[in-house]
Structure formats: structure tokens, C-alpha cells
Amino acid sequence: MAIIRLPAFPRPRLLLLLLSVLLLAGCAAAPLPAPAPDAAADEPLSQRYARLQREQGGRLYRLDAAQSAVRIHVFRAGRAAQLGHNHVLAAPRLEGLAWLPATGLAGARFELELRLAELALDPPELRAALGPGWASAISPEMVAATRANMLGDGNLQAGAFPLLRLRSLQVVGELPKLAAQIEIELHGQRRCQWLALQAERSEAGLAVRGALALLQSEFGIAPFSVGAGLLAVQDALTVEFDLRLQTGPGW
């Protein structure tokens, strides 16, 4: 058996190095384990958060999907990119909950999920609002074909992996400026990352805005490409959200 010798770091530096490795490993992508039938992850989101409030108090907030918006932007690439199109996707139906402890932000939690098959691709009003980069005309037939390809076996595989989920791991900062470490679940894999949030709290509820960037390849998704990359989709995409959450009796 070979012996691996570590460099002779001073003890404090060695401890910091080991801690950094452990933290990075904790947020690495990993295939999702098969949950046990009674696993907490299988419990409906609303039941899980209602139980949290019963046990620990605090205040529960439910996402108002009609007043909220999630926009996903996908960008053209390749040597013939000018022949392609940028795309924008909207999530008309969202489910989300947030819980704030009575004692402050420490321990606050939130989760958001959407069904990939419900994503709307390239609504004309959204394309028009985005300016010249989205000004190219796309026929309904082209939208339908692009959407089928996006959700199909060569890309998102929405039949096998129907949900996109975001779950908070920790929330830090002071209202209205927050930083959240989140776990993103997509295409059977999980990734962790930090994002900045703008959050405002009132008696009626919460308003939360933010954005994040994702690399499709980090979730095992091969970005669309034809003609040896002549026409393609960029690996990076952006997700912007403007969420409204309400509180009320019994929540």
C-alpha cells in the first residue's frame, strides 16, 4: 500500500485545508438516493412545513403563484449562432413555502418547486420585453418542436425527472439584504450554491427577488448542439425570480 505524505503545513493551515475540503465535498453534485417509503423527503411540502410550525412556532408563508414570476433565459451559441434564437421560459405554476422562526432569521427555511412539463417556452410578451436579443420571430410550430426537444430524452428528460427543486440550507444577513445557500435538484442530481436575495417583510407576507446562474453540464445535461456545434445552446443559463409569499390564519 502506497503512503501518501501531506506537505508540511503548519497545524492551523492544515486544519483549515481539511475543513475546506470537507465543506466543498458536502456541496458536490451527487445522484439522488432512492428514498425509503416513509422518508421525510416524500412528505408533501405543505405537510412538512405545517408540522415545522406546530413544533417550533414561528410564521409560515405560502407562495402566491399568481403574483410570482420565474424566468429562465437560454442563450444561442455555435459558429452559426446568428441563425438560432435565445429563449425565455416561464413557470406559470409554482409551489413554495417559507418558514421564519419567531426569534429571527437564524434557522429560516424555504423551498420552491416547479414541474418542468409545465414550463411555457417563448411567450411573445416576454420575448418582446427582453429587447433585441429576443426580437427574432419564432413560429408556433418552432416553439412546439423546441419545447419537445428540451423536455425530451436528449435534454431535461422531464418524464424521468419531472421537478426542479430549490431548498435552502442556510440563510444569513439582515433584511432586506440576505445571502442564502441553496441546494438545487435537477435531472437526478443536486448542487449547492450561494445566491443574494432582496427580501421585504410586511404583515401581509414576504416579497423576495433574486437570480442565479446554472451550468447544464453540472447536472448531467448535454446542451443542445447540431452540426458538430455549428448551431448550439450555451451551457450557462440564468434564472430570475420575483416571488410573493403570503401568511394567514392556519398557515
More confident residue, 74 or 54: 74
Of 141, 165, 137, 161, the closest CA to residue 151 belongs to 161
| 32 lies in some domain | no
CA 157/CA 162 separation, integer angstroms: 8
| 140 lies in some domain | yes
Residue pair 120/94 in contact (Cβ under 8 Å)? The answer is: no
What is the structure's pLDDT at 148?
Answer: 94
Q: Tell me the range of 43-52, 109-118, 241-250 where mean pLDDT is highest.
A: 109-118
Of 144, 111, 126, the closest CA to residue 73 belongs to 126
Q: Does the pLDDT value for residue 43 go beyond 80?
A: no
| 159 lies in some domain | yes
CATH number of the structural domain spanning residue 101? 2.40.128.110
| 225 lies in some domain | yes
Report CA-CA distances (Å) from 11 to 6, 18, 84, 113: 12, 11, 55, 44
| 220 lies in some domain | yes
Number of domains making up the chain:
1
The pLDDT > 90 percentage for the chain reads: 62
CA 127/CA 71 separation, integer angstroms: 11
Domain range spanning residue 129? 45-246
Cell of 32: 439522488
| 179 lies in some domain | yes
| 214 lies in some domain | yes
Residue pair 100/58 in contact (Cβ under 8 Å)? The answer is: yes
| 8 lies in some domain | no
Q: Which residues pair with 182 in a beta bridge?
A: 168, 193
CA 164/CA 188 separation, integer angstroms: 10
pLDDT in tens, 165-188: 999 999 999 999 999 999 999 999
What is the structure's pLDDT at 42?
Answer: 62
CA 152/CA 172 separation, integer angstroms: 38
Residue pair 76/84 in contact (Cβ under 8 Å)? The answer is: yes
Average pLDDT in the 151-157 region?
A: 92
Report strand pairing: 95-100 vs 120-121. unpaired
> Residue 90 region, left (φ>0) first, then alpha (ψ -120 to 50), else beta?
beta
Helix (H/G/I), strand (E/B), else coil: 40: helix
Average pLDDT in the 201-222 region?
A: 94
Give 85's contacts (C-beta < 8 A, 6+ positions apart).
76, 122, 134, 136, 138
Neighbours of 140 (CB within 10 A): 9
